[in-house]
Amino acid sequence: MNNRKVFNISSFTLVEVLIALFLLSIIALAIGSIKIFSNYQLYSAGRRADTQNSISYCIDHITKEASRVVGNEAVMGANNLVSVIASTRVSFYVDADGDGRNSAADHWAFYRLFGNQLLYCPNAASAGGNCSVAEETLSDKIITFTPVKQANFSTGNFVQLTMVGRWNPAAAASQDNPQMTMHVAIGLPSVSTN
């Protein structure tokens, strides 16, 4: 008698193994491309948000300083409260002591574009003068800074401001180097005292 046992061994053929490997590689490529795409979108959105936040911070800073201007140029004379120089610098005569009148404590403050940096001077002797303290850098992502005072300042007390910023100002705008433009009209308080 023969004591041999018959085993039923099932196995995969070479074709079945190749098909399985092909399907697994397609799934792996799909998952990898989704991950790369989502990482790229996250990276790009982060740069856009950072650029937008930088410009927004500058505009908020300028608006806050402009709200400290007291007076009306129709009464006090042109360029006695707000001065725009060469479309890259705007100066405000600020009420430093908050008393609502021109006093010895009041002084000029200005913002100017230097290269790609928007600089802030909190204290200057005149609208076009030098800063008496160290200038503060508000942003290093600004390409253009264009303040425009309304032509007929007596009918509307405001300054229009356009700022363009880019993630890397030295490189051209692209999807990897987003560029943002913001426009704002900054209303100034119109107060005059006798």
Q: Which among 22, 37, 55, 16 is positioned nearest to 143, based on CA atoms?
A: 55
Instruction: Judge whether 152 lies within some domain.
Output: yes
pLDDT at 6: 66
Instruction: Judge whether 32 lies within some domain.
Output: no
Question: Does position 80 have pLDDT exceeding 50, yes or no?
Answer: yes
Instruction: Judge whether 31 lies within some domain.
Output: no
CB 145 within 8 A of CB 113: yes
Instruction: Judge whether 23 lies within some domain.
Output: no
22 Rama class: left (phi>0) / alpha (psi -120 to 50) / beta: alpha
The pLDDT tens digits of the residues spanning 8-17 come to 777 778 888 9
**Domains: count for the chain:** 1
pLDDT at 194: 46
Instruction: Judge whether 116 lies within some domain.
Output: yes
The domain containing residue 105 runs over which residues? 47-187
Question: Does position 77 have pLDDT exceeding 80, yes or no?
Answer: no
pLDDT at 169: 93
The pLDDT tens digits of the residues spanning 27-46 come to 999 999 999 888 888 888 88
Instruction: Judge whether 78 lies within some domain.
Output: yes
pLDDT at 149: 82
Instruction: Judge whether 141 lies within some domain.
Output: yes
The pLDDT tens digits of the residues spanning 160-194 come to 899 999 999 999 998 889 999 999 988 877 655 54
pLDDT-based confidence at residue 152 (cuts at 50, 70, 90): low
Instruction: Judge whether 7 lies within some domain.
Output: no
CB 165 within 8 A of CB 143: yes
Residues 135 and 170: their CA atoms lie apart, in Å, by 22
